[in-house]
Every structure is written in C-alpha cells, then in structure tokens.
Structure 1
Amino acid sequence: MKVMAQIAMVMNLDKCIGCHTCSVTCKQAWTNREGAEYMWFNNVETRPGVGYPRRWEDQDDWHGGWRRTASGRVVPRLGGRLSTLAKIFANPCLPGMDDYYEPWTYDYDKLLSAPAGQRAVPTARARSQITGRTMDTIEWGPNWDDDLGGSMETLDTDPVLHQMSLRVSKTIEDSFMFHLPRICEHCLNPTCVSVCPSGAMYKRAEDGIVLVDQDRCRGWRMCVSGCPYKKVYFNHETHKAEKCTLCYPRLEVGQPTVCSETCVGRLRYLGVVLYDADRVDWAVSRPDETALYAAQREILLDPHDPEVIGRAAANGVPHSWLVAAQESPVHRLIHDYELALPLHPEYRTLPMVWYIPPLSPVVDAVTASGGDGENHRVLLSALSQMRIPLEYLAGLFTAGDTAPVERSLRRLAAMRSYLRDVFMDAPGDEEIPAAVGMTGQDMEDMYRLLSIAKYDDRFVVPTTHSELPRGLARLEGCPIRGLDDDAFFPTARGKGRHPSIPLQVLR
C-alpha cells in the first residue's frame, strides 16, 4: 500500500443557481491577458446541452481519456507513441475556434466619445478579440446553452442523451435544466500527462494538482486532445498549453480556490483525500464501466485507520495533511454519506472533482398529483419518476448505473423529510433515515455540512508549511492569551516533527 494525498473538490449541484460568479472571478484571476481570451478554466454549463467546447463529451470525435484493450491493458484513446508522433504536426482531434467560440468585446469608446445632441443613437458593436474585425452576429459562446435557456437548438445534440438513448420532453411544463460547473478534474490517472510528448504536463506528488511546466511545453497540443474534459487550452500568443491550476498559490497558504471563495451558493467543498497509489492501475482497468465508480471509491482510504496513518507517515505525508484528511468534508461526502459522484468515470482518468446530483422539485410534483408530499414513503418512491431522469444523471456521473444516483438522491430527500419534523419541534422519525441506511444523527450532521457549514468546515486545506496551521493567518498577529506552550503543542514536544495546533484551539 502506497498512501498518497490528493486535494479534491465536491460541488453540490442542488445549490448551483448558474450565476457564473465562479467563472468570472477565475477569468479575472488567471486568464485576463492576451492569448487567453477564449479560455475559461471554470465554466458553468446548462444541462441538457452540448457544453464548452461544443460536444466535449463525444470521445468518438475527440479521442480523449483511456480505453481498455481486449488484453486488459488501459491505453490512451488518442493512440500510442507512434500514433502520437504521426499526428504531432497535424492533429485532427483538436477542437477548433467554432467549437470554443470567437471571443469578442464591444466598442464602448463609441458610446463614451459620442458627441452630445447627435441624431443617431450611438451603439457599441461587437468586435473580435482575435482578428479585431467587427462581428455582425454572435453565433456561439462559452455559456451558450445557458443563454438559450436549454432551448431545442442544442438539446437534441447533447451527447449524454445519445449515450443513454434518452428522449426527454420538450414541453415547457415537463422540461428540465440544471447547472454543471466544471474545472480541471486533476485526475489520479490523467491522460493529458501521459500523451504529452515533451513531458511538460505533470502531477505534483505532494497534493495531486496537475500543472503545465511552461518552460518545457513546446505547444504540441496533444494534451488538449488527450484530456476528455477538454480543460487544457492553447495560448496562441505564447504557444504554450494552459489549464486550471486549482489556485495552488492560495492552497499553499491554506486558502481555498478563487471559484470556491466567491461561490454565491456556497456549493463547493475542498479537502484532502488519501488514496492507494498502488491500486490505481487496478481501478482504471475494470472491464465493466459501471464498476469504475465503485473501484474509484475503493482505492480511497480511511484516514482514521491506524495502518493507513502509519503507511502515510512512512511515505512522507505530513502530519498536518493527515489531520486535514481526517477532517475533510470531501471524504465525508464521498465515503461516509455516499452523496458525491465523479464526472464521467468511464473515461478511466479517476477524476477528483465530484458532484452531488441535483434533486428535482419532487415535493411539489407529489403534491400536485394529489399525494402527500410530507410523507417520506411517498417522497422516496417518487424519486424514480423525477423531472430530471435518473438515467441522464447516471450518464453523467456513474457510467449509466442508476443505483448510486438513486441512493444519493434518496438520502437528500430523506434528510429534508427528517429535518422538517425536527424544525417543527416534533421528534425525528428514525424510520426515515433507517430507510436509506443512516441514523438521525447522520441526517443532522449531513444537514449541517450541506446547509449551514461554516467557512472552515467547507474548506479544510492544509498549508504547505506544517508549522503554520490552517486558520492561524486570520488571527492577524494577535496572540492567544491564557494558553501555555504545552496547550499549543500537546503532541510536538520531543517527537521530531513540526508542531500542529489543534483546530479546536483556533475555534
């Protein structure tokens, strides 16, 4: 067992309102410069839809991710070394400008410098940021599905609908839509790293973040093709590949990513998970695609297990990271509550950005049909007939297996039903959590994490320097009085390791 640490993220889609604040703040922080006009390290897609770049999930066209051969080996869909070298000067598997969009701005100076009293109303026409020419019509954008409000123009070309052979209602009263924020998945088995001819793509051993060495990058763009999520971009000014860095300069000082910090819905959670690096090959080579989600969960380790703690320390995982893994909200949402699911595990990259699926307005639907929306038996039985089909969510998160999706949604619905009684000063009905394999205390703990968790509960990010515990920077230099050294460092005296302040002291 080789225990390694990975920074992971969970997004609660039940709380995403599609405001795009995360996208805008990420854009301002990382891609507000020449050559990066079309890059959106974070974008929010509306589902059903084709996403950004257009139809990024169609691996028959883009050949991203991994495939399992008849012999059981896992190889890049893009091909081996000879195939990569054959395409190195002319790669047919690259999205074009039409698939992304031609970025534009507006001639605001025409509005600001227009003389007063002129007869014609001044306008700010769209102008391409690539060519500088005036654009008469805007035909595509990074959030085009959202601009169209899930219209029929893009609905029929959604790759997930085709993959799951689904036909969804197009009438306004029966249609559905939800928002899907996306960033780089910082996978445990990243294809982009494997297919890079120059070795510029690499995965950091200390935290699992996938980065691009700008000095080594030669602009071959194989990483763009190899990434099945199409979250690697090519800067046409610097001729280098660029991607989401998971805001590692912020993480190194114990702060969350910009998209997490500014999220209006507070739907993002950051934390450390421990995994067995020796079993990554086993997990990605499962013959049945529907077993990949379970295999990915299986290689994630229990941070409270003494054997795991010992192996992690022997492999150089800092003590502060072990503490962070034990308090990680990500581990609780993935392992303890079994709510979070990976995005497209069938790509076999073991993505480390997980999602809690959205729960349809099922209470109103049950009530409108004449049922008792307060009865948990009626509520849980109605989940299979939700407005958002289970099959569609399964096509996104579990390679078509509806059982994990239904379990996650049943637990979310049971939490609402159980807490409704508690908030009405009625005793909690233990039959409700028991129906989904949980207890009443589990329901209350899950509610606190999903609904009213504080900043330090949602973002458990250890600092790079283990002698600077998480949260100490916010004390702004003011000493904590009334505590002696032994209270601060109860486990560090003479142990030969950096001190670690217990989080309860800081609280």
Structure 2
Amino acid sequence: MRVMAQMAMVMNLDKCIGCHTCSVTCKQTWTNRGGVEYAWFNNVETKPGVGYPRRYEDQERWKGGWVLDRKGRLALRSGNRLKRLSSLFSNPDLPTIDDYAEPVTFDHDTLVTAPAGRDVPVARPHSALTGRPTAITWGANWEDGLGGTPEHGAGDPNLGGGLAEKVRFEFERTFMFHLPRLCEHCLNPACVAACPSGALYKRVEDGIVLVDQERCRGWRMCVSACPYKKVYVNHTTGKAEKCTFCFPRIEAGQPTVCSETCVGRLRYLGVVLYDADRVGEAAAVPGETDLLDAQRDLFLDPRDPQVAAAARADGVPEDWIDAARRSPVRALISEYRVALPLHPEYRTLPMVWYVPPLSPVLDAVGAAGGSADDPDHVFAAVTRLRIPLEYLASLFTAGDTDAVAGVLMKLTALRGHMRALALGDPDDRGPLEAVGLTPEQAVDLHRLLAVAKYADRFVVPAAHREEAAGPPGATGLRCPVDTHERRPGERRVALGMPGRRRRTDGSAR
C-alpha cells in the first residue's frame, strides 16, 4: 500500500440554480486573455443536452478515455503510441471551433460614434478570432434552461438505447437539471498518458493535473484523449491549457474560485487518501458497473491508525492527514456514499463527484395514488421520478440504475426524517434503517448537504513549501525560465509554480 493525497470536489446538484457565477469568475481569473476566448475551464450545462463542446460524451466519435484491450489491459481509446505519433500532424479526433462555438465580441464603437438619427444603433457581433462580422448560432450555454433542447436535446449521447423515447421534450413531462463541469483531475488521467511531450503531469503533493508550459509542443493529443474535453489549446501560444484547480489558492489553504463564488453553496472541497498501488487495478476491472465500487475501494480511512501511519511513512504531512479526517468530500463519497463520479466508464477515475438531483418525490407518490407516510410507497416512487433513473445512471454509474436508486432513496429517507423532526411528527426510523442511516448520521448528513458553514464545506490544508520547493541549487526548484536541462527526478513547473510529477501509475518522477 502506497498512500497518496488528492484534492477532490463534490457538487450537490440539487442546489445548483444555473446562475453561471462559477463560470464567469473562473473565466475572469484564468481565461480572460487572447488565445483562449473560446475556452471555459468551468461551465454549467443543462441536462438533457448535447453539452460543451458539442456531444463531448460521444467517445465513439472523439476517442477519449481508456478501454480494455483483448488481454484485459488498459489502453487509450485514441490508440497506441505508434498510432498517435502517426497522427501528430493530422488528428481527426479533435472538436472544431464550431463544436465549442466561435467567441464573439461586439462593435461597441458604433453605439458611441453613430450620428443622431431616428434609428437606434446596433452593436453587431464580430468574431473574436478573425475580427470579421459573424452570426451567433451556438454557444457554451446555448441550451441553458432547456432553451435549445427542443432542437438539440435528442442529440444528447446519454439518450441511447431507447431512452430518447422515455425522455420527451414536452412541457408537461419535461425535466432538467444543471451540471457544472471542470477538469476531473483524475487518478488515472488519459491526457497525461497521451501527451507525447510529457508536458501534462499529476502533482504528487495534491493530485492536481497541470501543464508544463515549457515542455508543451501543442500536439493536441491531450485534447483527444480527455473524455471530458477539458483541455484546450491557446491558439496564440500554441500551448495546452486547462483547469488548474486554482492551485495557487489551494496552496494557500483557500478554496477554488468557482467554489468560493458559488451562489448555491453546492461545492465541497477536501482531501482524500488513496492507495496509489491499486489505481491501475481499479481502472481495469472488467465490468463497467463495477468501476464505482472499485474506485471507492481505493479511498482509505484516515481514522484508521494503520492508514495514518502508512501516510506518514509515505510523506503525507500530519495536517493533511487531519484534513482528510475532516474532509466533507470523504464523508459524502465514502461514509454516506451519496456522491457519484461523472462517467466512470471512461476509466479515468475522476475526482470531481456529484450528488445526483432528486425530483419531487411526494408528487410522484400522490400521482401513483400512494401515501407519503408509507416508506414502501415513497421508495417505489423513486423509480418513477420525472428524471428517469436510466438517464442519471448513464451519467454517474455506467448504467447501474440500482446504484442511483440507492442514493436517491437515501436522500428521500433523509428528507422525510428531517421533515418529521421539523414538524414534530412521530419519529419513524424505518426509512432510515432501510437505507443504512442512524438518526445521528441523518442529522449530520443534513447539516452537510443543506446548512454547512464555510469551514465545513471547504477543508483545504495549506501546501508545505518545503515539499514543493527549495533554495536555488537544491534538488527541486529551478527558475521557471532558465535554460538548464533538468536532471531526471527534478521537479517541474506549471505556470511558474513548482510541483513534483506523478506518472499515471502513481509513481513520482
């Protein structure tokens, strides 16, 4: 067992109102310059919908993530090294600017310089790439609030297998929820494995995936390999860029910008400890529906004295071990098991997880002629909610509807119990016992999901500078802009900040 620490995020989708504040603040912080006008490190999609970039979940088209070869070994869907090298200069598996949407600006000078007249002047859109007049026909938020769903919703890759007939885009029967997305900072990142230059790497100290701008040569293989399409190319510099998990803030013990500014307070940040020696084994389990449990089994209990001792021996600082004990992410993923990963079937072992949205359960009970006081009726209604279980399963559990139903039933029992407490109704522990919760756990889970304070939602230990950097000349840090050829084992830099590199198999380099 080799214990490593990973910064991770959980989002409660029941609380997302689709305000896009997280997207705007991320945009202003990280991509408010030339060359990345089209890039949104954080975006909020409306589901059902084709997403951003368009149909990014269609891996038959884009060849992202991992698959198992004939011998049951992990292999990049984009092909082996020889295939990738042969397509360095002509890669067909890349989204075009039309899939992302051409960024636009507006001719504001017309509003200021237009002569007085009877007609109101109009600021027409111009391409931010070419400067020429253009028409706005697509955008990252085009389907916001189901705005474009009647036209494009059927193109959602998650609506396969006859599910499109069950999901009807009619006013009386429609549903929607918002899905914020950012880089998953995976335990088994396909982008890192696919990069011919070795520019992408996963930091040892916190698991954040970054791009070494010095080594990047703009081959774009990382864009193809990422199944979430969260790696972008700066068309001015020719370098790859991506969500950095706001690592300067994380190193200072502060939450990411998207988390700090989230209006709905739906994001949780914390440390999880995992066994790096079993990452490849977990990603290579044969059954796709087994990937969720395989990844959960990787996470270690920091309250276990043996795990804590192993973490210390492997260089995890004591305050990080303590932060892992208090981590809201660990509680939601491993203790209460209400958080689920996005598309585990990609086998990247993503580290941004989601609490799935719960439709109005009592409405479904009443529509079926049942009693809201009968746990059997309530739990049965979970399978008939407006948001089909099959759709949520295609997003979060590789098609395992039982796993999704188990989470929704747990959330339903929690709501019923807290409602009874608030109204002074008799304490019926049957529903809680059915989902494996005690009354004390229910109160704690409700506090975490509904009314958690800042310090409870964000448990972010500060970085140890002695781990990441040292004095000039020491093994480790060198000037980010020097021309000295680094020796094997020396730390690399990303955007001017040091960090130890990790291979996809968990070993440091």
Fold shared, TM-score > 0.5 on shorter chain: yes
User: What letter corresponds to residue 104 of structure 1 in structure 2?
Assistant: V
State the Cα distance separating 1:466 from its structure 2 match: 8.5
Deviations 1:224-253 (A, max 9, x none): 001000000000001000000000000011
Deviations 1:414-464 (A, max 9, x none): 111000110112343211211211111111000000001000000000001
Given residue 154 of structure 2, which amino acid in structure 1 is its aligned partner? D
CA shift, 1:309, in A, is 0.5
Deviation at 1:378, TM superposition (A): 2.1
* Alpha-carbon displacement from aligned partner over 1:179-204 (angstroms, at most 9, x marks no partner): 11000000000000001001100000
> Aligned partners of 2:354, 2:284: CA distance in 1, in Å?
23
Cα displacement (A) at 1:367: 3.0
Q: Given the superposition, is the C-alpha separation of residues 466 and 412 from structure 1 closer, same or farther in structure 2, using an over 3 Å criterion?
A: farther
In structure 2, what residue type is equivalent to 1:87?
Answer: S
For residues 313-462 of structure 1, the aligned pairs below 5 Å read 313-462=312-461
Q: Secondary structure at the match of 1:233?
A: strand
Aligned to 1:479: none
Residue 150 and residue 304 in structure 1: after superposition, are their counterparts in 2 closer, same or farther (change >3 A)?
A: farther
CA contact (8 A) 2:14 2:358 kept: yes
Q: What is the distance in 1 between the residues matched to 2:136 and 2:223?
A: 25
Measured in 2, the distance between the counterparts of 1:466 and 1:361 equals: 48
Amino acid at match of 1:187: C
- Measured in 2, the distance between the counterparts of 1:126 and 1:139 equals 11
2:201 aligned residue = 202
User: Which aligned pairs between 1:136-285 and structure 2 lie closer than 5 A?
Assistant: 137-146=135-144, 148-149=146-147, 151-162=149-160, 165-167=163-165, 168-285=167-284
Contact 2:273 2:302 in 1 (8 A): yes
Show the counterpart of 1:33.
Answer: 33
Matched, 1:59 2:28: no
Larger deviation: 167-176 or 201-210? 167-176
Cα distance, 1:156 vs structure 2: 1.1
Task: State the alpha-carbon separation in 1 of the partners of residues 149 and 28 from structure 2.
Answer: 29
How far apart, CA to CA, are the structure 1 residues paired with 2:148 and 2:394? 18
Please report how far the alpha carbon of residue 403 of structure 1 lies from its aligned counterpart in structure 2 after TM superposition.
Answer: 1.3
Separation in 2, partners of 1:102, 1:151: 20
Distance across 1 between alignment mates of 2:445 and 2:455: 16
- Aligned partner of 1:491 in structure 2 is none
Give 1:67's aligned amino acid: V
Cα separation, partners in 2 of 1:148 and 1:178, compared to 1, 3 Å: closer
Identity %: 63
Distance 1:9 1:431 in 2: 32
Query: Take 2:97 and 2:374, find their aligned partners in 1: how far apart are those partners?
Result: 52
Return the alpha-carbon distance in structure 2 between the equivalents of residues 267 and 290 of structure 1.
Answer: 27
In the TM superposition, residue 106 of structure 1 has moved relative to its aligned partner by 1.5
Q: Which amino acid aligns with 2:202?
A: K
Provide the rounded CA distance (Å) in 1 between the counterparts of 2:203 and 2:227.
Answer: 20
SS of aligned partner of 1:6: strand
What are structure 2's unaligned runs of at least 5 residues? 467-509
Cα separation, 2, equivalents of 1:243 and 1:23: 14
Q: Which residue of 1 aligns with 2:129?
A: 130
**Contact 1:376–1:417, Cα closer than 8 Å, also in 2:** no
2:4 corresponds in structure 1 to 4
Whether contact under 8 Å (2:163, 2:391) holds in the other structure is no
Separation of aligned partners in 1, 2:228 and 2:161: 16
**Contact 1:46/1:150, CA 8 A, preserved across alignment:** no
Deviation at 1:65, TM superposition (A): 0.4
Secondary structure of 1:144's match? coil
Q: CA RMSD in A?
A: 1.4
Q: State the one-letter code of the partner of 1:103.
A: P
2:504 aligns with: none
The Cα shift of 1:138 comes to: 1.2
Aligned residue pairs total 465
CA–CA distance in structure 1, aligned partners of residues 164 and 106 of structure 2: 40
CA distance in 1: counterparts of 2:163 and 2:389, whole angstroms: 13
1:71 Cα shift?
0.5
Deviation larger for 373-382 or 169-178: 373-382
> How many angstroms apart in 1 are the aligned matches of 2:243 and 2:394?
25
Q: Quote the offset at 1:263 in angstroms.
A: 0.5
Contact 1:364 / 1:373 at 8 angstroms: preserved in 2? Answer: no
- Post-superposition offset of 1:214: 0.5
What's the secondary structure of 1:413's corresponding residue? helix
Aligned residue for 1:9, secondary structure, equals: strand
Kept in 2, the 8 Å contact 1:65–1:349? The answer is yes
Q: Which moved more, 1:359-368 or 1:279-288?
A: 359-368
Provide the secondary structure at the position in 2 that maps to 1:156.
helix
Report if the CA contact (8 A) 2:46-2:146 is conserved: no
Task: Give SS of 1:407's match.
Answer: helix
Deviation at 1:336, TM superposition (A): 0.9
- Structural mapping, 1:17-96, within 5 Å: 17-96=17-96
Compute the displacement of 1:326 (Å): 0.2
Question: CA–CA distance in 1 between the matches of 2:333 and 2:465?
Answer: 26
What secondary structure does 2:160 align onto?
helix
| 1:372 CA displacement | 3.0
Mapped contact 1:272–1:460 kept (Cα < 8 A): yes
Shift of 1:171: 1.9
Checking the alignment, whether the CA contact within 8 Å between 2:270 and 2:459 is kept in structure 1 is yes
By how many angstroms is 1:169 displaced?
Answer: 1.9
Contact 1:58 1:159 in 2 (8 A): yes
Give the Cα–Cα distance (whole angstroms) in 1 for the partners of residues 454 and 13 of structure 2.
19
What amino acid sits opposite 1:8 in the alignment? A
In structure 2, what is the equivalent of residue 288 of structure 1? 287
> CA–CA distance in 1 between the matches of 2:280 and 2:184?
18
Q: Give the alignment's TM-score, normalised by structure 1.
A: 0.90
The code of the aligned residue for 2:174 comes to: S
Output the CA distance in 1 between the equivalents of 2:425 and 2:373: 13
Q: Conserved in 1, the CA contact under 8 Å of 2:16 and 2:264?
A: yes
Structure 2: distance between partners of 1:64 and 1:420: 44
In 2, Cα distance between equivalents of 1:34 and 1:435:
55
**Residue ranges of structure 1 left out of the alignment (5+ in a row):** 468-507
